[in-house]
Structure 1
Amino acid sequence: MYFNWTTLLKRLSGKMVWLAATYMCLAVDAFALDTSTDVVSAQLMPKPKRCIALHRGQVCYQKIDMQWHYPDAQTTKICLYEVSEAQPIECWIKLSKGKIRINFESAHDKVYQLREGQKVLAESLVSVAWVYGGNQNKKIDKRRRSWRIF
Structure 2
Amino acid sequence: MMPSYQASVFQSSQLEHGRRFHFRDPHNSQPGWIWGTVTLPDTMGVGTDDREIILHICDTIAAGLVSWGYRAMHGLGNYSVSFPIKVETPEQNLERLMALIDYAALWWVSFIRDGNVSIDKHMLFRARQPPPDRDDQLLEVPLHWDKPKYTVLNPWSAITVLG
TM range (shorter): under 0.3
**Bigger share in strand:** 1
**Structure whose alpha-carbon radius of gyration is higher:** 1
More relative contact order, 1 or 2 (CA 8 Å, 6+ apart): 2
